Amino acid sequence: MSVICIFSSNEVRIKMSEEKINLTDLKDLADQSEMAIANKLCIIAATLICGFIALTYVVLLPQGLIPIGVGIGTILLALAPIIISWSLYLKDHESPVVKHVVGFGFGLLYAVIMFTSDIGIVYLYAIPLLVVVSVYTDVKYTAAVSIGAVIINIISVAIRMQSPNLTPDDVTSLPMRAVLLAVTAVFIILNAKTSKKFQEIRSARVRIEENKTNSLMKEILSVSSKMTDSVSEIASEMGTLKDSVEQTLSSMDEVSTGTAESADAVQNQLIKTEEIQNHIDSVKQTTDTIMDHVEATAQAVEEGQKQITVMSHLTEQIDTAGKDVQAALATFSQTTSQMNSITELINNVADQTSLLALNASIEAARAGEAGRGFAVVATEISNLANQTSEATGDINRLIADINSQLGTMVDNIESLIKTGQEESECANKTADDFNLISQNVEDILSSSDGMKNSVSNLATANSEIVNSIQTISAITEEVTAHASTTYDSSEQNKQIVEHINNLVDDLNENATELKSYT
């Protein structure tokens, strides 16, 4: 469509340029005066005729064929109208005196030639000049010159008819000569009248066409003015649209940058969350180890209760079992220390998750409407991070309880070892201690089971965090894709707006050129 518009605009411009050139030529032609053209033609014709006559007499004069006075006078009469008419023409091309000088001067020359020359055909000198003076379309002037030539010719014929040297041919030819010149004069006068009539008809038609042209030009100027106003308004609106498109491009560029930063943040969040998942798996393994140790301890205590009745006989076995229990408790204590380190790491990761969620919320707020869903997901991540922090707090408390209970167990076992030699006397005391140990082991088992549930909940929460982050990542990619598409569309719209602006400028130029023709 735009190519057609450009072609049409160029075609109109070319046609207008051609019309402008034609109008310029017509204007130059119209600026020329009819009187100036007629004067020039008449002077040239008179110069040729009078010059030919003067040249003829210059040739005949040395031969003695004509009297010297007549020859010189004729030559002067032939040159006088030429010199005078050219002088007047050079001063003023439109001088109305030129035609009268030519007509009177040539008439006087024609009369002298007709009355002094013996050559019969000299009467024909009048015909070319009569034809030339008819270009003035002045009927009175043409009639005066023609009648004057006819009268001179008739007088000349009448004088010759009285000559004693008249021949029979002269009797026939002289009247025919007078009639021929008279008929020629009549035709020339009629031609002048007809030409003047044609000129009046053409002038009337020109005036009619001029009126039509003026009306058409007024309509064209009115339409051109309206078109110029409309084009100016369109140009203003297109400028506003161009500014809006540029603002959209700038905004979409910022959105693309923001979504790219958000995507990086989400990717970092995903990496941190995967690290949390790895630590949770490690905590789960440690918890399973603790459970195994607790179960083993419970079995050992149960076995000790069974053997309490024969403790006096198995002092060495009890001593050995006590040492085994002490070693197991030491290992268990180290395990709880590792659990403390892991939970501390989980707390740190949860804090980082909260911070990343806050950053994601800020980026979502900056993105505006497009980031609303992103903000909701970021809030959910923050909540899950808080739950993770609370769960690790519970685990820390459970581990603290376990450490406290382990301390009690260590003290009891150390007391048991120290009093191993007195076990036989303190069997009842040992039985009570084993009952206490059994109770503590049950508490540890219950606490370990709670810790296992907390770790399981933590793993579930972290899995949800991973899913949420993946959702955020997908949303971010979709927002980025839409932003890129919108940016490309805005770029295309900008090019279209610039192209339309160029077309509007072309229309303005065409309207200006149209106004310049008036």
What secondary structure does DSSP assign to 240-277, as a single string?
A: HHHHHHHHHHHHHHHHHHHHHHHHHHHHHHHHHHHHHH
Closest CA to 386 of 342, 346, 339, 359: 346
Does the predicted TM-score (pTM) go above 0.85?
A: no
CATH of 251-513, one of 1.10.287, 1.10.3470, 3.30.420, 1.10.357: 1.10.287
Closest CA to 298 of 455, 415, 443, 449: 443
Closest CA to 96 of 18, 22, 33: 33
Q: What is the mean pLDDT of residues 312-320?
A: 71
The pLDDT value given to residue 13: 52
Output phi, psi for 406, to 5 deg. Answer: -65, -40
Residue 228, token pair as written in the block: 């110029």
CA distance 247 to 40: 72
Residue 1, token pair as written in the block: 């469509």
How many residues are present in the chain? 518
Is 222 buried (19+), middle (13-18) or exposed (0-12) by CB count in 10 A?
exposed
* Contact (Cβ atoms closer than 8 angstroms) between residue 188 and residue 143: no
Delimit the CATH 1.10.287 region(s) of the chain. 251-513
- Provide the 8-state DSSP code for 65: S
pLDDT surpassing 80 at residue 353: yes
CA distance 248 to 251: 5
- Provide the 8-state DSSP code for 32: S
Q: What is the mean pLDDT of residues 85-98?
A: 93
The pLDDT value given to residue 84: 94
The 10s digit of each residue's pLDDT in 474-512 is: 766 776 677 678 778 777 877 887 787 788 787 777 777
pLDDT surpassing 60 at residue 247: yes
CA distance 69 to 73: 6
- Band (pLDDT 50/70/90 cuts) for residue 7 is very low
The pLDDT value given to residue 6: 39
**Ranges assigned E (strand) in 29-77:** none
The pLDDT value given to residue 164: 77
* Contact (Cβ atoms closer than 8 angstroms) between residue 152 and residue 110: yes
Q: Which comes out higher in pLDDT, residue 313 or 283?
A: 313
The pLDDT value given to residue 129: 81
The 10s digit of each residue's pLDDT in 131-149 is: 888 888 888 888 888 898 8
